[in-house]
Amino acid sequence: MQKDPSERLIEWSEKIKTQKLSNKSEVTWCREQGISYNTFQYWKKRINLRNPQKSKKREFIKIPEDHPLIEVTLRD
């Protein structure tokens, strides 16, 4: 029996959240979970389109002049 579409969204939202918390690359995590990377990307994109407020925003920030060194960390 096939799952309800809303159940699948919840399931994949949890999988995507779990991958982010794992600190592993998406490719490595998918391989370890036996999930197709392309399927993972499909659901990630689909969920982000349904929740635009959760998608990443890119913006410029002003760096104070009295801080000669700034460390930037990027996450997937």
pLDDT digits (tens, 9 = 90+) for 32-48: 999 999 999 999 999 88
Task: Indicate the pTM of the whole model.
Answer: 0.62
- What is the reported pLDDT for 73? 80
The answer, yes or no, to whether residue 2 has pLDDT greater than 90, is no
The CA–CA distances, whole Å, from 12 to 19, 28, 52, 55, 71 equal 10, 17, 16, 16, 32
Domain boundaries, the chain: 5-52
- What is the reported pLDDT for 13? 92
Q: Are 25 and 76 in contact, with CB atoms under 8 Å apart?
A: yes
